[in-house]
A and B are shown apart, each in its own frame.
Chain A
Amino acid sequence: MAANEDTFLHLARPLGPAPVGTQPSTHPLTVIVQPQALLSVLDHSTRRPPDQTRVIGTLLGTRSDADDSTITIHSSFAVGHTETTDQVEVDMEYQKTMLDLHKKGNPKEVLVGWYATSSELNTFSALIQNFYGGQGDGTWPYPAVHMTVSTEAGKGVEVRTYISAPVGVTPERAADSAAFIPVPYEIRYGEADRSGLEMLAAAKDREDRTVATITDIESLEHALEDILGMLDRVGKYVEGVIEEEDDTLPNTSLGQYLLNALALAPKVDPADIEKDFNNHIQDVLAVSYLANTIRTQMDLSNRLATAPLTMGGPESTSLATKEEGGQQSQRGGGQRGGRGRGGQQREQRDQREPVSAI
């Protein structure tokens, strides 16, 4: 992301208050942002009133147990606020109620900080930060995380995360000021998140903003195409090295790495693969054959159990089986008829199934 262009260092967090009974820690902090939190922030931003430049909300997540040096942001909710040139109002009551409600649903998630949808920091940010990091309703004694997400239309989304340190030597000054300390963050997503996001991104460039879900086989195709593209790139580089083109410098460690990666492919005889494959196919077929046989047996026994034994003669039995359904239960009557009907209906489906499942 473009935010990486400007660099910062984060080596130690400011000495803050410590939970009772533990040493205060100055261990550096990292923030992990999960995509759903980011999505809900962006969603909030798109629904803001047109005259408001930024909106804010509460971040919820977990702290790592050992030394609370890793903060994971799981989700967020919007908090209403109004900003004028000389004052800011945050709906504290709402924030508190929402937090309580959220805690009922997700007892493990705690308040970790707040977000604003503008990269800018101002003195109101300092005020709100001190509120979120304060005692009572805030994150105290842990530092509150402030995440800014720039949401200017037409530009890339930039995320920054901060914690704060006090500034000023008098209590009054310290109350409405803060030194924001940038801390590193990481957006961490799983496989499922990734494919979900890819689908969202696919709909981005379409007029109707819709995209059909892709099937497994299509995603396999996409993956194959991706890999082919990567192979192509590597191939071009290697070709450049061999042809001794000027703009490709041979890098021995890269070559070694490639060779190591390529050596991971198992060296097996094609004939062996053929053999293994055929053996496997035979196993699969044997299993499916056995499964079908068992199903046939069950069908047979079902029929035998529900066949109207009182009726003599093979002709009527076959008639009953062919006519099926209601007629059958009428004939069987009583208790057994009821059971028989269920059996029959199942049977109807079963009859087709062995054929279609092959």
Chain B
Amino acid sequence: MPAPANTLLIEGSFAELADELAQYIDTVCKSEAGSGVQSLIAPTLGEIREKEQAEEPAEPASIQTQKDEVLKKIVGKAAVLNTAPEKEFTAAYNLLIHLSNQSPSRDMFLNRICSYLSEQPVASSAQFGPSLALTTLTTIFNILPNNSESRYHVFMAILKVIRSTSNNAAFDALTPQLNTNVPKWVVAWDLDDEDARSLHVAIADVAAASGDHDMSYKYLLHGLETIPSDSASEAESRDLAKRTLVAALSNPTITDFNPLIDREAIQALRDSDSGLFDLLNIFASDDYAAYTEFLESNPLTSIDLPESAAEMLETKIRLLTIASLAAGAANRSLPYSTISEALQIPKEDVEMWMIDAIRAGLVEGKLSQLKQEFLVQRATYRVFGPKQWSEIQGRLMVWQRSLEGVLSLVKSEREKFEREGAGGDDMQQNGERRFGGYRGQGGRGGRNQNHQPREVDFVGGD
């Protein structure tokens, strides 16, 4: 069942409401009586009224044209609503949206209203201006049908407002609603690749402006997906690919570069920006030694990376090197000496680096100072191949088999209890059987148990 088509509920005919709104607009912009919108639309409204009240209903089409005329005039003047007092702002805009929503050329009017809200500041309220604009914009967004492409334009206007505000509350509210909705929207609005890309990039921009670099990167990555393979080497896609790449490299929390490497737009960088592409390859699968070697021939500034990122990049490649070492460690132990060698760090710093790697979620394990080694419990595989998949399969099988064992045991024990225990209400039988089970497991425990009934017998027979 779809959502209710109409969430703006107001009684009154078009003519009445339009008249009231026009009057209100006139009051807000303080125009002289007789020269405002009200007087401008009065004749047309009068005709509409007459036609509606006439005995023989006039053609609906002609009324509609006249209504549109009235609306055009009202919407044309509606920008002054931005100066309305903050308490009346939402109410007045809602009425305007309600009127526009009835027209067949709804999208045109609503687009106009959107531009008022997103491009002009709300003059009457400095503090709540953006929130007021957002409230009204979301109302427009929500009353538009799910599959209307206009929703896309409204959404872009919303992003624009969020970006221009310093208030993070709106962005925080937006984030959780995006994850599931954006893919649905792209389908529902029937966006072509280019629009979908600008949608994702716009979200990434907003995220970056609000300081959420992880999310910004995520949407840049989605944006890359929309680049078709034949235009992967065009200048525009190249810029986007480069931007995404730099974002990925310079974000300290991103350690998985596999999704990036698969993108065709990134692959296209191989020729145009070979330095950056090589660096990506090093971060995706190589170690610290390769990185230092790379730096000798290519200083960071030559590949459009800021000098300030150098320290962060060094830290990151060291952590990634640890992950590789841990994943490849034979019999799960990694001597400190190997680590210090690979990372080119003094031996006493090894533990600090390991702790950092654990904190970054790349490895898990135990540090043993006594044995001077790291016992790997879990390591992130930087290259995920068939070998890793079969390992997963193996472990799943083991788990499944042991669970099946547990299940069959539980089942058979329950059935046994139902067969034997249902009649006898005493727990003795049950208890003895349970101990019987124990006796099988731990011999000594069973023997201890044998004394007990005798003790009891002694008490009872006294």
Spell out A's residues near B (CB within 8 Å): 2-15, 24, 26-28, 119-123, 125-126, 150, 152, 155, 158, 160, 162, 165-170, 173-174, 176-182, 184, 217-218, 220-221, 224-225, 227-228, 231-232, 234-235, 238-239, 241-242, 250, 252-253, 255-256, 258-260, 262-265, 267, 277-278, 281-282, 285-286, 288-289, 292-293, 296, 299-300, 303, 318, 321, 351, 354-358
Contact = CB atoms under 8 A, between A and B. Distances in A.
A166 B98 CA distance: 12
Contact of A217 (B86, B142, B414, B441): B414
Given A221-B411, A225-B407, A255-B389, A10 B177 contact: yes
Given A168-B94, A169-B23, A234-B396, 8 more contacts: A6-B146, A15-B87, A168-B91, A168-B95, A228-B404, A260-B380, A351-B459, A358-B452
B403 to A, nearest CB: 6
9 contacts: A12-B132, A28-B170, A121-B6, A165-B139, A167-B98, A173-B12, A242-B393, A256-B381, A277-B441
B169 A170 contact: no
B391 interface: yes
Contacts of B389: 238, 241-242, 250, 255
Contacts of B445: 278, 281-282, 285
A314 to B, nearest CB: 11
A292 B1 contact: no
A296 B459 CA distance: 7
Given A12-B173, A355-B453, A356-B426, A169 B92 contact: yes
Interface stretch (B195-203, B301-309, B344-352, B430-438): B430-438
Interface string B141-169: 11000100000000100100010000001
A312 B426 CA distance: 38
B455 A292 contact: yes
Which of B173, B391, B393 has the most chain A CB atoms closer than 10 A to its own CB? B173
A263 B442 contact: no
A9 B158 contact: yes
A260 B390 CA distance: 14
A263 B394 CA distance: 12
Contacts of B448: 282, 285-286, 289
A262 B377 CA distance: 11
Given A27-B169, A221-B407, A354-B459, A158 B1 contact: yes
A166 B134 contact: no
Contact of B90 (A166, A235, A354): A166
A112 B427 CA distance: 52
A307 to B, nearest CB: 11
A265 B378 CA distance: 10
Contacts of B452: 288-289, 292, 358
B278 to A, nearest CB: 21
Contact of B94 (A3, A165, A303): A165
Contacts of B162: 11
Contacts of A258: 392, 396
B92 A8 contact: no
A26 B3 CA distance: 24
Given A14-B90, A231-B403, A28 B169 contact: yes
Interface string B169-195: 110011001001100110010000000
